[in-house]
Structure 1
Amino acid sequence: MGAVHQCHDITNQLKVLLDGEGERDSKIESIENLLNQREPLLSSITPPYSLEEQSLGKEIVFWNKQIDQKLVELKIDIKRDMNGVSKTKTTVQRYTNPYESMQTDGMFYDKRN
């Protein structure tokens, strides 16, 4: 099997994986493995191409656009979750110690002798 066919199969697996549902951590790990497998194949694809390889290449390019869009959405979801965690952390910290963030500037203590 040629590099174009292998790249096509791995790209198809990536597309199916990103379109499917599942646990995000295991999905990210699988995506990393597939991308690491596909990287050397992309660099080993060289012309001349047969008609079949050209059609597979067009399909790979089309799928790559969809894969890139799904990866951007996944990245946005991860950022949103990270921001939510940091907001929750600061809210919990304010709840446990509400006077910690009070500013002391401008306070005046009157001391009588």
Structure 2
Amino acid sequence: MTPVHDCHKMTKRLLDLLEAANEDRDSQIQDVEELLDQRGDILPNIQPPFTEEEQKLGREIHLMNQEIEQHLQKLSRAVKEDLQEVKVKKKTMSKYANPYEALQTDGVFYDKRN
């Protein structure tokens, strides 16, 4: 198999993985990283001249890459939202644990005579 065929196969697997509704996002991210690394190893081996079939596969790879990019951005936004939610929960829990921690002492009067 040529490197173009291998890259097409890896790209298809990556797109299928991202399109699958996976509740375990950590394992999905790990699998995506592995496939991206494997595909990254194949990319330097792709050298011209290309046959008609390889050019067709290249166009398909390009279209799949656009879809993969959208899925990765969606996944990234979901992770960022979860991190933001955790920060808010952490801040809220610390306020319940120590409610007087954030009190301001603005406007305190000091008597100079004593």
The structural deviation recorded for 1:109 is 7.1
The structural deviation recorded for 1:107 is 2.5
The structural deviation recorded for 1:6 is 0.4
Q: State the match for 1:32 in structure 2.
A: 33
Between the aligned partners of 1:15 and 1:78, the Cα distance in structure 2 is 19
CA RMSD in angstroms, aligned pairs only: 1.4
Q: State the match for 2:15 in structure 1.
A: 15
Q: State the match for 2:59 in structure 1.
A: 58
Between the aligned partners of 1:14 and 1:51, the Cα distance in structure 2 is 24
Between the aligned partners of 1:9 and 1:40, the Cα distance in structure 2 is 13
Between the aligned partners of 2:68 and 2:14, the Cα distance in structure 1 is 7
Any unmatched runs of 5+ in structure 2? none
**TM-score between both structures, scaled by the size of structure 1:** 0.93
SS in 2 for 1:107: coil
Q: How does 1:1-113 map to 2 (within 5 A)?
A: 1-22=1-22, 23-108=24-109
Aligned residues: 111
- Aligned structure 1 segments of 4 or more residues deviating by more than 4 angstroms: none
SS in 1 for 2:106: coil
Any unmatched runs of 5+ in structure 1? none
Aligned-pair identity in percent equals 47
Deviation sequence 1:61-101 (CA, Å, 0-9, x none) = 00000001110110010000000000000000001111100
